[in-house]
Structure 1
């Protein structure tokens, strides 16, 4: 009897799902390209993870290569470059997080209080534009602008300031990397917060104004609480990318002068794996990098869930 009832319930659920799919199949069709993309570029490459545990030889193939266990990880941890690579990666990541995370929030709050539509649209257009510049072109612009005879030094000379060696001092690499990233992403990163702020009911601000609340008080007690869940989610996602610095930018801004500060794990993996052909060793380093990212994501997500009751899962 119970088996018949369960079968009937399952049949009703399946029929309901099929009717729903028949009505909305066009919507599901839209996500097919993304599903294919994720499978091809996120799941299929996981087949190559086993390279990290093998002594890969192209003639033997992935399956035919001998297993070496954790030998490549041990070699990396014991290498003299390990501490420098880890420090450069972490310092750049945390610097980028501290400088780059709050700036789109501040910019979004600033735009929210601009009443003139033309000024608001102009500010958005100007700040969104750098996001659409390719990284190769953007890094080329940075090198040209900050060179000894570049635009920045030319402007400094107009005001009577001696030229600054931005690129000749290796310690400037971190500042150039981080703040150029802030400039490129501040407008695009603010879109999420602007969309949340525009959904806040105007009656809240009107009521607060009638009660005598200042603009700062409205920002503090209405705007910031409204975007707080979004801020937490974005912070969790950023925390999961602490070890995953962009390879392109670091590599393009890298030179023999700033190599001490610019050599990070992603650029080292490229040089070891692609240029030197040590595929197994580079795969082990890349896997270590991704595992640390995963652990950070889980830890920050749990902390955020306990503190603010907002999390990814």
Structure 2
């Protein structure tokens, strides 16, 4: 069929044979030489490769990739948080103690320490009807490690047997009770309770969270270690490496004592009594400036 095209008319290419194209225009078909046919940007865009369905598929795929990139880190973070909660629940309650104490518990458990050897937030009965609150206890093959967990920012100055230390944070200077002496009291109270195992080695480890610097700390006693949180595992490994294995006389009894101390902390009245006794000991409510 013969028909005439004007410049700018849009046609559909049906096939090609050499320099000739079979074309379709307004329901009519015919042939035209390639020198008279020009491909516009619109015709290129409408090639089979860019059909609307393919465009939609590309768009959907692009959106899925974007969602994957954006939400994968969030999902992984949620997954790890839920997994950590499950690990923590094997030893302690999620709202018990401080966040830094719970972080240390998690570090121990995630690095191979057995659930039955980790005890968090213990309230030991003392001879004066009070409680000695211990942040964390770990039973190891070489003895018992008693942890005192601190959350401080600044520069620390003090000596092992000095009752009070100095902490400088910016332009502010504070006086804090020696964590070494504080943990020695905890260890003494623990020994009083496990009196049938007086020879069991007990190590004191004070773990500092926050941006804390040991500027001038000396005369640290034997079996006592001070460390920042990122080196706590290193300290535990050192204790286990340089000390001989200890043969516990009655490990089950020690675990029972620690479990009872942990149960004491579940009782609200015990917590309130301990806080009241600390407040009375400090006597801040009896100071009038």
User: Which protein has the bigger helix share?
Assistant: 1
TM-score, normalization by structure 1: 0.23
Greater RCO (Cα-Cα under 8 Å, separation 6 or more): 1
If you compute each CA radius of gyration, which structure gives the higher value, 1 or 2? 2
TM-score normalized by the length of structure 2: 0.24
